[in-house]
Structure formats: C-alpha cells, structure tokens
Amino acid sequence: MERRALITGITGQDGSYLAEFLLAQGYQVHGLVRRVALHDPERHLSRLAHIRDRLVLHAGSLESSTSLQQVVDGVRPDECYHLAAHSFVNTSFEDDLPTLGSDISGTHYLLAALTGKSPACRFYFAGTSEMFGNADESPQRETSRFLPRSTYGINKVAGYHLTRNYRERFGLHASTGILYNHESPRRGNEFVTRRIAVGVAQILAGRQERLALGNLDARRDWGHARDYVRAMWLMLQQKTPDDYVVATGESHTVREFAQLAFAAAGLDHREHVFIDPELCRRTEDKPLVGDPRKARERLGWHHQVDFAQLVREMVMAECDALGLALPLKTPAIPAASVVGNDAEKSM
C-alpha cells in the first residue's frame, strides 16, 4: 500500500528536496501550504514547479489548531515531517517578538493533531545547531547542552522538548534531527552562502564589481540539503524513535566558502570582497561543528556531497541562470577542521 507523507514547510529548500526524495521512494506526498501559495504559485511554489502535478497540497496554517486537525484527519499520514519555521537567524529579539511563540504553538498543535487523529504516524521535527548556540563543548553531540542565542534557537529547543514529551508521554514515534547548516542552489537569498554564489555570478557577468560580507572568520559545518533530507527519512524508518545530530563533522570559514566560490569562476575573492560591519553579528558564538557518529552508526547515514562540490554546485546554478559557463577544473578544497582534530577540540 502506498505510504502517505505530510510535509510542513514543503515550499522551502528542505521541503522541496524531501518531496522529491519521497516521490522517488513511492510515497503519496502531501504538503501543508498557506492559502496565498495556491493563489500565487509562481511566487510561492517555484521550488516545487517541476513536481507540482505529483503533489497534493492543502491550504492550512500552523497557527490554527482547527486547521491542522482538519488536514491531518483528511490525510491520515503514515509519516509527518515538520519543517516549517521562521528559519532566518535574526540577531534582534525585538524584531522576532511576533514569531517567538508562533513556531512553538504550531509544533504543539501539530503533535496534538497527530496524537488524536493519526497516532500511528511517525513524526519528524526539524531541529538545528542553533539550539546549541554558545556551545560549551565542541564538537556538539546529542548530549551536549543547549545554550541558544537567538529566537530561532529558543523556538527549536522548545519544539525539541515538545517532541520528546509526546514521544515519552503518548508513545508517538517522534524524532528530532539536529541539523547543522545545509545549503543548496535553493537556499534563500538572505543566507550568506547564497549571497556569495549570486555575487560571484553577478561579478562574472559584469553586473557588479564588489561583494559585501560580514565576518569572514566565522565557521560553520556546511553540508548539502539533499543529503540531509535523506537522514530525516532514515530516522522515521527506525523501530525506535530517537534524536540525532546530522552534520558533516567538518567546519569551514566564510572566507573559505568565498575563496572556493570565486575560484570556481576563475576569480580571486580578495579582489572583490569587502567587509561591511553592518553584516557582522553582534555576538559571534563559538564555532558550531557536529559529531554525526550516532547517525552514521545507527542510521547508516553519511554525507555524500563534500564542501567543494557544494560550493561549485551553488555557483554553477547562479551562472547557469545568467547563461554563463564555469571553468571545467574544480578548485581544491581548503583544509577543514574535522571532528576529533585537536584544533577543533580546543575551540
């Protein structure tokens, strides 16, 4: 019998890759979207355009318990992937006040709807490395302490605990994936990786000369979203639900990302990048790098796209959109900080 999956946040980067993956696995894929998305699909459903006719989309809102009850009751999903959230990490709590409770309530409403209407459904909650925030150990693992430093991270910590409580109290097969930064050509324009890729293409096309960036020494554990959605699915195929760190185990600086991105276009980043203090975070947390050993050992998961491949794919997509060609040679990957290295442990 064809399995049914319900995805919140299906219009986003992760949602679109997950929808593709599940369709390839033979699922009937349902997505929760805002009504405006159905009225203006070219703007809101662009990442799904190539598979739109294979999806079943439902208008609904995470802010409405009644809406979620109706969607869950109608779909009766076998698996539910809760990806929807206000995902950009803003440094201003004042700007984020309207969203401080909405993500938490939406997660709670969805868990309650599943428990009442489809209790056998397996549930995935999208956590984030931002839950660790100002981490007091590196690399971080499933047992590391949460010290969020953003509204986004705080919301996700609350969602993690809600998911754990529904697992323990109601017996729901509910798991959380603590995902580190994952990118792709479908990443939003507000994220630094996409801004770099777009900037390189614009400079190569002669449309601009310089690219403004913030702290070039900021480190992140970057992987490809296509790899990470596979980890989400693997969690829900396990007999016992659990929580997993999903990461590459490597960290790279923004400078390294820019270096590779410009090199892919045959350019030198030092000739085009300048620092804009307005783009620097007020407080730069300790480097976040994940320890994916549990996911490797229990799920059999590992990332397949390396850092250099990720960067080149993102730049190539932006250049293709402008009708530009890249050099055939792939630039060498910079030295990374890897889980287990003494240098990483000392951070």
Residue 217 phi/psi, 5-degree rounding, is -90, -5
152 an active-site residue? yes
Give the amino acid at 145. Answer: R
Catalytic hit among 17, 81, 124, 152: 152
Residue 100 phi/psi, 5-degree rounding, is -60, -35
Beta-carbon contacts of 124 under 8 Å, excluding residues fewer than 6 positions away, are 79, 80, 81, 82, 174, 175, 176, 177, 232, 235, 236
**138: helix, coil or strand?**
coil
Tens place of pLDDT per residue across the chain (347 aa): 799 999 999 999 999 999 999 999 999 999 999 888 888 888 889 999 999 999 999 999 999 999 999 999 999 999 999 999 876 565 445 556 666 677 899 999 999 999 999 999 999 999 999 999 999 899 999 999 999 988 889 999 999 999 999 999 999 999 999 999 999 999 999 899 999 999 999 999 999 999 999 999 999 999 999 999 999 999 999 999 999 999 999 999 999 999 999 999 999 999 999 998 888 765 555 789 999 999 999 999 999 999 999 999 999 999 999 999 887 655 555 556 555 443 333 33
Asked whether the CA dihedral 22, 23, 29, 34 is positive or negative, the reply is: positive
Give CA–CA dist 246/116, Å, rounded. Answer: 30
pLDDT at 336: 61
128 an active-site residue? yes
Query: Strand pairing partners for 190?
Result: none
Give CA–CA dist 133/118, Å, rounded. Answer: 34
pLDDT at 344: 34
Catalytic hit among 79, 130, 250, 344: 130
pLDDT at 36: 86
Asked whether the beta carbons of 326 and 204 are under 8 A apart, the reply is no
Predicted TM-score (pTM) of this structure: 0.92
Spell out the domain ranges in the chain: 4-182+223-246, 187-221+251-282+306-335
Does the structural domain 187-221+251-282+306-335 have CATH classification 3.90.25.10?
Answer: yes
> 């984020």: which residue's tokens?
96
**Closest C-alpha among 88, 85, 87, 93 to residue 282:** 93
Catalytic hit among 128, 151, 248, 253: 128
pLDDT at 347: 31
Query: H or E segment at 31?
Result: strand 28-33
Give CA–CA dist 164/170, Å, rounded. Answer: 10
> Domain 4-182+223-246 - what CATH class?
alpha beta
**Closest C-alpha among 74, 172, 30 to residue 115:** 172
